[in-house]
Amino acid sequence: MKKKAKVSLTIDQRIKRRNFISFGVFGAMGAAAYGGWKWLYNAPQEVPGVTAGTRAPLRRALNKTELFFRRLTFNENHLVKTYPVEMAVKTVRHNEDIGSDSTIDFDQWKLEVIKNNGQKLYVDLDQIKALPKTDLVFDFKCVEGWDQIQHWGGLLMRDFVRHFGLDEETSLDYMGLTTPDKQYYVGLDMPSAMHPQTLLAYEMNGKPLPPQHGKPLRLIIPVKYGIKNLKRIGSMTFSNQRPPDYWAEQGYDYYSGL
Ligand SMILES: Nc1nc2c(c(=O)[nH]1)N[C@H]1C(S)=C(S)[C@@H](COP(=O)(O)O)O[C@H]1N2
Ligand SMILES: [Mo]
């Protein structure tokens, strides 16, 4: 039987070997990190425009987050907390007016609804006011960090949809709203748009909407941050793809749910 050659390394040799191994591992990790970065960097951008220029894998992760929260926290029967009307502020905070600061002829205003078959439906304010009004007092929250208990009144989106026969439209995944001049626009997942507290509001503190708060008609969607509460609605669309969204294009969360 042949005796196995004894491999004995000097201390020096051992140190060299360790160094060699650790540099090897370090280098491999570096290469992997570089490879990962290259992969991400070269990955295509997700649907250009809809969400701010994010690489597809990152946006996919963010979209997964949206789905996770939608499934976990969204329940159409879960109502946002409401307050007694006396608690509503008298001086309602005013934020930005992108798309609703120009003048329009309010007497000529009609809400334009673009149906699935391409037909357009035009609804004026009197038709909306003729339907049952719902008052809502809730804590309005802006992503910029302020909130206020506010009092809004109008037609429930659900009632609007039912009355005007838009069931086919609302079986799609998203609703899009834009101002008449198309300068401000939001996309809403349909369950949030159809939430039992989502309002097409035409009153604030029991009076017609002042121009800076969305005259003649604005969205009040308590399950979302302020950014989605579009003032001065011009048109309404429906789709299975995410509609363009002003703040999502600037990198804000598309879902913006509470
Ligand atoms: N047309 C339009 N709607 C809009 C905005 C806007 O700039 N233009 N800003 C949004 C934001 S960020 C908030 S917080 C609320 C503020 O509504 P308010 O001005 O009535 O307080 O409106 C939302 N709706
Ligand atoms: Mo906001």
Q: Specify the amino acid at residue 181.
A: D
Domain with 26 in it: 13-42
Q: What is the pLDDT of residue 109?
A: 98
Distance from C-alpha of 161 to C-alpha of 233, rounded to nearest angstrom: 15
Q: What is the pLDDT of residue 9?
A: 63
Q: From the CA of 40, how far away is ligand 1's center (Å)?
A: 35
For ligand 1, atom 13, name the residue with the nearest CA: 226
Which residues does the chain have with pLDDT short of 50? Answer: 1-2
Residues 63 and 32 in one domain: no
Residues 100 and 227 in one domain: yes
Distance from C-alpha of 202 to C-alpha of 208, rounded to nearest angstrom: 6
Residues 71 and 156 in one domain: yes
Q: Is residue 127 part of a domain?
A: yes
Is there an atom of ligand 1 within 6 Å of 232 CB?
A: yes
Q: Is residue 205 part of a domain?
A: yes
CATH number, domain of 77, equals 3.90.420.10
Q: What is the pLDDT of residue 32?
A: 62
**What is the chain written as a DSSP string?**
-PPPPP----HHHHHHHHHHHHHHHHHHHHHHHHHHHHHHHHSPBSSBTTBSS-BHHHHHHHHHHHHHHHHHH--TT-PPPB--GGGS-SS------TTTSS---TTT--EEEE-TTS-EEEE-HHHHHTSPPEEEEEEEE-TTS-EEEEEEEEEEHHHHHHHTT-TTGGGSSEEEEE-TTSSSEEEEEHHHHTSTT-EEEEEETTEEPPGGGTTT-EEE-TTB-GGGS-SS--EEEEESSPPP-TTTTTT--SS-B-
Q: What is the pLDDT of residue 226?
A: 98
Q: What is the pLDDT of residue 49?
A: 61
Q: Which residues contact 94 (CB under 8 A, 6 or more apart)?
A: 212, 213
Residues 88 and 32 in one domain: no
Q: Is residue 6 part of a domain?
A: no
Q: From the CA of 8, how far away is ligand 1's center (Å)?
A: 76
Q: Is residue 7 part of a domain?
A: no
Q: Is residue 120 part of a domain?
A: yes
Residues 103 and 217 in one domain: yes
Which ligand 1 atom is at minimum distance from the Cα of 247?
Answer: 12
Query: Would the pTM of this model clear 0.95, i.e. be above it?
Result: no
